[in-house]
Amino acid sequence: SAVISQKPSRDICQRGTSLTIQCQVDSQVTMMFWYRQQPGQSLTLIATANQGSEATYESGFVIDKFPISRPNLTFSTLTVSNMSPEDSSIYLCSAQSDSVTNGYTFGSGTRLTVV
């Protein structure tokens, strides 16, 4: 199954700044997904990233705040813009890894703290 390398693993950022999170997949995948997991909570989908087209955002998430790039079938970035302490969360990327088992693989997550 696919393996995703996500970085950075953690960061502490000043409010008002931006952070870009990168995910590299070791095989080509059609769709990649970005999630936010607030402390003690479940995973909330931010957006679906398709190669060659704009990302599709879920309700409550907007492109200006969370711009996403998907330049090829193995790579995607999520930027958290103009950060506030409320953006402190774990951010995870995901991709469907195996069409037989239908499992999705996840990156190891980025733990973001905004001060």
Smallest separation, CB 102 to another protein (Å): 5
C-alpha 82/C-alpha 87 separation (Å) is 9
> Is residue 90 near another protein by the rule CB under 8 A?
yes
Segment interacting with another protein (CB under 8 A) among 17-25, 60-68, 75-83, 97-105: 97-105
Residue type at 87 in one-letter notation: D
User: Least distance to another protein from the beta carbon of 28, Å?
Assistant: 13
CB 49 within 8 A of CB 76: yes
Nearest to 76 by CA among 26, 22, 28, 33: 22
- Return residues touching another protein (CB under 8 A): 30-31, 33, 41-45, 48, 90, 92, 94, 96, 99, 101-106, 108-109, 111
